[in-house]
Structure 1
Amino acid sequence: MAGVTGVVRDAEGRVLLLRHRLWHRDRPWGLPTGYAARGETFQDTVVREVREETGLEVRVGELVRLRSGYRLRMEAAYEAELVGGTLRIDPREILEARWFPPDDLPGGLQESHRPLITRRPG
């Protein structure tokens, strides 16, 4: 299994964070994340997961993390740029979606996501 994460930024440099329904209650905030489907590129996984969870459209950029995972065989993370869509969350998975400046992140953020958010893209 491969877990894939998108570090989605808007034109102002804010990052999209989701408060996940199924994540630990002490750490519900994190980046859009999901499992790659069989035969799907990791970039396509980012596009699909963001669209499914938020209704937003993104353009995937550079690979920013690739490593063996904790419970997954592999974890990959990509920078992504907002290009359109209308924010509408999937309430089965997501409780809330908000844009945050990288220097003002919410409490309860997944610690593994913090370095992805605070790194300088490019």
Structure 2
Amino acid sequence: MKRLIARVWRAIRGPMQWRILWLAHSKYMIGVTGIVRDDAGRVLVLRHRMWPAHQQWGLPTGYAAKGEELAQTVVREVREETGLEVKAGRLVHLKSGYKLRVEVAYEARLVGDATPRIDSFEILEARWVTPDSLPHGMQDSHRQLITGSTPA
């Protein structure tokens, strides 16, 4: 039976294989977070309107658009939420195991003006803080990303 399946699989090369794989596998949303630092080593933190009231502080975060490079998601999300320009750096976190979601985090460096112009629909406040002065109500996983410990 395995040989027959292998023969059929080889016979349908190309787009048909991809279509079958697409139908047979889970589809995931990719959540992308940016750990944005300025030249002084401060970190950009945001108070998110849509997050739970007791944990509204976190890093710039959003979902990758179809076909978007994940590092570019960081650049886009930071620009949309704060108006700031950043350059994405190295990948620092990749985690799956969630139901239909994968989490990714990149370091990012501020490359322009450091004055945020927040999108008040999503973001209530933006601050540049040192890693040892993170605000109360900070997401634990984001605190861990900033301090370099492994998020759970």
TM (normalized to structure 2)? 0.76
Higher helix fraction: Structure 1 or Structure 2? 2
Give structure 1 regions of 4+ aligned residues with deviation exceeding 3 angstroms: 69-72
Correspondence for 1:97 among 126, 134, 137? 126
Query: How is 1:5-24 mapped onto 2 (pairs within 5 angstroms)?
Result: 5-24=33-52
Question: Larger radius of gyration, structure 1 or 2?
Answer: 2
* Partner secondary structure for residue 7 of structure 1: strand
How far is 1:90 from its partner? 0.1
Unmatched tracts of structure 2, length 5 or more? 1-28
CA distance in 1, matches of 2:112, 2:56: 25
The percent of aligned pairs where both chains have the same amino acid is: 68
> Mean alpha-carbon deviation: is it higher for 64-73 or for 13-22?
64-73
> Mean alpha-carbon deviation: is it higher for 66-75 or for 83-92?
66-75
> Mean alpha-carbon deviation: is it higher for 63-72 or for 74-83?
63-72
Query: How is 1:57-96 mapped onto 2 (pairs within 5 angstroms)?
Result: 57-68=85-96, 70=98, 72-85=100-113, 86-96=115-125
Unmatched tracts of structure 1, length 5 or more? none
Decide whether aligned partners of structure 1 residues 115 and 58 sit closer, same or farther in structure 2, where only a CA change above 3 A counts: same
Q: Deviations over 1:38-87 (max 9, x none)?
A: 00011110000000000000011010000115455210000000001442
> Mean alpha-carbon deviation: is it higher for 66-75 or for 92-101?
66-75
Decide whether aligned partners of structure 1 residues 103 and 49 sit closer, same or farther in structure 2, where only a CA change above 3 A counts: same
Query: How is 1:25-40 mapped onto 2 (pairs within 5 angstroms)?
Result: 25-40=53-68
**How many pairs were matched up?**
120
8 Å contact from structure 1 (residues 69, 75) kept in 2: no
8 Å contact from structure 1 (residues 60, 79) kept in 2: yes
How far is 1:107 from its partner? 0.4
Higher strand fraction: Structure 1 or Structure 2? 1
* Partner secondary structure for residue 68 of structure 1: strand
CA distance in 2, matches of 1:72, 1:97: 30
Correspondence for 2:148: 119
